[in-house]
Structures are given as C-alpha cells and as structure tokens.
Chain A
Amino acid sequence: MISLTWQWLTDPATWTGPGGILAQSVTHLRISVIALALAALVAVPVGLFIGHTGRGRWLAINVAGAFRAIPSLGVLFVATLILLPRLSGDLAFELPVILVLVLLAVPPVLSGTYAGVEAVDPAARDAARGVGMTESQILWQVEVPAALPLVLSGLRSAMLQIIATATIAAIVGIGGLGRYLIDGQASRQYEVMAGGAIVVAALALLVDLVMAGIQRVVVSRGLVEARAG
C-alpha cells in the first residue's frame, strides 16, 4: 500500500497533464483563494467594526458559533440544488462550493479580527484619541496594525480549513485535489486516495508557510518583540 502510494506519487504522469496534480492544485488553490478573499471581504470589516466600537460582540460570537455548526455537505447540496437551474457553465457548480468554503472561513477570520482589535492596549487607544487622532485614524494607524498578528492568524487558520475542505468540490464534479479522493474511491485505487490526501496536506502546509512569511514581513517588529519580551 505504502509502496503503491509512493509509486503513484513519484510517477511523472500523475503530476502532469490536464488531470495531473499540478493542474488540480491550481484549481484547488484558485477556489480556495477566492473563498478566503470573499470571507475576508465580509468578516474583516465586520470584525473591525465590532472590535473598534465594542458593539455587536454577541453577533460575532453567535454567528461564528452557528456557522461552525453548519454541515458543509448539506450546504453544498442545498446550494447546488438552488443555484444549478439559475446559473450555467462551471460557475453553477463552483459557486456552491465557494459558498460552503466562505461560510467555513468566516468564523475564524471574524473572531481573529475582532479579538485582535479588542486586545489592543486600552492605554494606547486612549492615548491615540488624546493626542488628536480621529476615529478612523485610530482604527487604521493604531488598532489595525496592532491587531495584525491576530487578524493574520485568523486568516491562516481559515485557509487551512478551506484547503482541507475544498476537496468537496470534486463531489459536484469540478476539479481540485478532491478528485483523487473521489475517483480513487470509485475505482478502488486506495493508493490514489492516500496520495491525494498527502498532496492536500502538503499544499495546506505550503500555503501556510507562504502566509507565515507574509506575516513576518507585514507585522511590526515591535509587536514581535512585545511577545518575546
């Protein structure tokens, strides 16, 4: 089994071509990035608002909890049923998948963002106001930069979940690394399933590594020092 998986993974034919790992990875990543971007588009502003004003915290907590309880597969089937007749082409299949992934990513991004802003030293916020920053200057010049480590942690954990879950795209017939899991099972080629799972995990690790690199660059050294010291 292990050697079969190894054989499959090291066979150049597995990687190249239209249905190869490289092509499927690109599809997988494309869907994942779109989902993360959409989730961030919704959750970051809401999180900033909640963190800055202190209002609507209950919303963040409850919505995040509710979202976590939603079964991904269920949403996928319902969304596909609803959207399929109304859309055409690949979009009809991709959109439900992306929707599921967005729902999945909103809670970690939302709670990372508002927790990050909320955790900003009250003295720093008071000083910002006291030296004459406007509310938006306080948000952008103090709260967001100081909250960045937690915001980015939220995005990273969201991305890990997205990449793992994006395999369900294969269920509704579109590409991505989930193909190997579905097709492998259908044809009882367990080495393909195992290989596919390994590739998904590797992709997740790789993306996380890249995001960690970005985090190092954009987060102020002053905040890293604060943690260390």
Chain B
Amino acid sequence: MIRFEGVTKRYADGVTAVDDLSLEVPQGGITVFVGPSGCGKTTSLRMINRMVEPTEGRILINDQDVAARKPAQLRRSIGYVIQHAGLFPHRTVLKNVMTVPRLIGWDQARARSAAMEAIEKVGLTADQAERYPAQLSGGQQQRVGVARALASDPEVVLMDEPFSAVDPLVRMDLQAEVRRLQRELGITVVLVTHDIDEAIGLGDHVAVLRQGGRLAQLATPGELLREPADDFVASFVGKDRGYRKLGFTGADLDPAPEQTVRLGEDVPTGRGWVLAVGEGGEPLGWVDRHTSGGPVGEDELHRMGSLAEVGDSARVFLDAALSAPSRRGVVVQDGRVIGTVSAQQVVDSLERT
C-alpha cells in the first residue's frame, strides 16, 4: 500500500505542482491518476520513487517512509515505465531487460533467465530479445519497457502515460496486456494518464486530480460514473457518462427462450428471424425467414451481433440487443445459447436498479 500524507511539491520557480495531497493507493490492482494536463500527475507519481522530492509531507510504502531509503536502492525495488519507453539504444532488448536484475546484484545467468521470462510475459519472442530497440516498432519498444520494469519482480510498478505514444489499436493491446499482467502477478500498478477512458477502462481505482495537484475524487470507475464528487469530476468524466456507466452496472435479466435451427434442418415456419446454432449449441448466425426456406445453408446466415455472456455488464447486453439484426441479443453460457434479451428488457432492468 502506498500512502500520500499531506504531500506538497513546489518547484524552484514557485509553481505549486502538487498541493497537500493525501491519498491511499490500495495494495494490488491498478490505481490510475488522471486529470487535465499540468495538474501534477507526473509529479505525484515521481515522488513515489523519489525522482522528485516533496517539499512537504511524506509518502509511505507499506508504512515505510520512502525518504528513509537511498533513492537508487528504492528505485531498483519499484518498476518504472515511461511514455517513450526510454530504452537504452546501445543495448539489446535482452540487455535492457537485464538492467535491474544486474543492478541489484544478480549474477549473469539468473539475470538472464529472469529477463527472458519477463520478455515472454509481455509477448515478445526470444528472437526479438536479441534485437536492438531501433529495430522494434513503437508498441514493441513499449512492451520492452514493461518487461524491463517487471524483470526483478517488483511489488510496485509506476507507469507514466505508458500508452500515449502508440496508435489506438496497439494501445488497446497494451492495455489488455498490462491488465492481464497485473492480475497474473498481483502487483500494485500506479498509472498516470490524461485519458479518462483509459482510466475508467483500466483502473480498479481512479484518482481524479485537479489543477494544482489536488485530489478531486478517488473512487472505483463505477462510483466515479455514478456519483461524481463535484462538477469538475462530472465534466471531466465526460458527457456520455450515463451511458458509459452501463459498463460498470450488472444486468439482472432473465433471457427469453429463443427458437433455434441447426444447419441443414428445415427453416421452421413463422415470421422474422430465427437463430442458427452449431452441433454444440453455439450460435452461428441469424436466418431471415422472408428470404429463406427449406434446409438452412451456411450462405444464408446473417452476421451475428455481439454476444453477451451471463454476468456481463448492462452495456454488453444492450450492445448485443442493438447489434443483432433481430434486435434480440444472444446470451451465451460456456459458449452455448441460453436465450436472448431485448433492449427494452435491459432498459427495464436499469429502471429497477
């Protein structure tokens, strides 16, 4: 657990970047610092590993004041990932990732195997481990940056806008990767971003900071969307927060039974859409009874909408209903169709909660 106690940072030029910040970063999970540009996110983050020294107040990791530890020693025990990766250009990927293990005195062999393990964890190959940073794409470089931070198994990893320099698709990949790694390793990640969507999508806890490094609200993403503490948070969270909140709201629904047909069977009589399923009951697509008759062929299948899994959020259910050509969202459990829901049902369930 990381605790800020009345932390203030005034830079030499008189700018108060962080003003009397007190907050607790819970152990485990991802805590995101988010806020407008210049509000003191980076400064707050860098005070944790003493890259910046607070003017007042103190920061404790597991109840130990970081000021009591030698900066270099402290930093070696905390993972550090920055925006442009900051890889050492003259070192191979492997040597980059071996940096911290070597600094803390592990021998060559142990450092090497720890580094290879970290490189695989972030989804890079042994072949890429022998390359130099200049031979990698931006997204790959960022993965190496993450691997370098993880190689010595730190409990805490700090990340400052780790995904903001890569294109949106790669960013989504990397976000999922960090999410997965955090869960797998049980580490505590403190991540800085100015992107509220990233904060809400990735954080278990989100600290919204306002200008001058003051804490506006620290909450789970769901709470933040449901009950923003004040106008600043509400406007920062954005216009469609009502809709996005659905992503953090459970859906209490009873899917209605849906008539299904297997490939090769005759289309049942009736009107409208019928759902085609495979041998194991897995959904394949929708068949339009206006245009089809006789045995169902694969070429008659219309594309599926998105699928909702039992236990998914209201947003997923609503999307399933709206994206299906029949406007009935397919609900699956363990890959098998158990029924469908309409948008009306989802909305009704929201009215009840």
Chain B residue contacts of A121, Cβ below 8 A: 84, 86, 89
User: Nearest CB to that of A122 among chain B residues?
Assistant: B86
Interface of A is mostly: helix
Pairwise interchain contact A131-B90, C-beta atoms closer than 8 A: no
Q: Which of A115-143 contact B (CB under 8 A)?
A: 121, 123-134, 137, 141-142
Is residue A2 within 8 Å, beta carbon to beta carbon, of the partner chain?
A: no
A220 to B131, CA, bound (A): 12
Pairwise interchain contact B86-A226, C-beta atoms closer than 8 A: no
Chain B residue contacts of A174, Cβ below 8 A: none
Q: Which of A126, A133, A222 contacts B90 (CB 8 A)?
A: A222
Q: Which of B56-109 contact A (CB under 8 A)?
A: 71-77, 80, 82-92, 99-100, 103-104
A142 to B96, CA, bound (A): 11
Place the interface of chain A in its size category: 20 to 34
Shortest CB-to-CB span from A160 to chain B, Å, is 26
Chain B residue contacts of A222, Cβ below 8 A: 89-92, 132-134
Given contacts A123-B83, A229-B135, contact A131 B89 (CB under 8 A): no
Given contacts A134-B72, A222-B132, contact A128 B88 (CB under 8 A): yes
Place the interface of chain B in its size category: 20 to 34
Pairwise interchain contact B90-A220, C-beta atoms closer than 8 A: yes
Given contacts A132-B76, A134-B72, contact A127 B87 (CB under 8 A): yes
Given contacts A132-B100, A132-B103, contact A226 B75 (CB under 8 A): no
Shortest CB-to-CB span from B309 to chain A, Å, is 40
A219 to B74, CA, bound (A): 32
Shortest CB-to-CB span from A139 to chain B, Å, is 13
Is residue A20 within 8 Å, beta carbon to beta carbon, of the partner chain?
A: no
Chain A residue contacts of B49, Cβ below 8 A: 130
Is residue B176 within 8 Å, beta carbon to beta carbon, of the partner chain?
A: no
Pairwise interchain contact A126-B89, C-beta atoms closer than 8 A: no
With most chain A CB atoms within 10 A of its CB, the pick from B100, B103, B145 is B103
Pairwise interchain contact B103-A124, C-beta atoms closer than 8 A: no
Is residue B148 within 8 Å, beta carbon to beta carbon, of the partner chain?
A: yes
User: Nearest CB to that of A128 among chain B residues?
Assistant: B88
A146 to B135, CA, bound (A): 16
Q: Which of A129, A132, A146 contacts B89 (CB 8 A)?
A: A146
Is residue B51 within 8 Å, beta carbon to beta carbon, of the partner chain?
A: yes
Given contacts A132-B73, A146-B88, A146-B89, contact A126 B82 (CB under 8 A): yes
* Chain B residues packing against A (C-beta within 8 Å): 49, 51, 71-77, 80, 82-92, 99-100, 103-104, 132-135, 145, 148-149
Can you give 16 contacting A-B residue pairs, CB < 8 Å? Answer: A121-B84, A121-B86, A123-B85, A124-B89, A125-B86, A127-B145, A127-B148, A130-B51, A132-B76, A146-B89, A148-B90, A219-B90, A220-B89, A220-B132, A225-B132, A226-B133
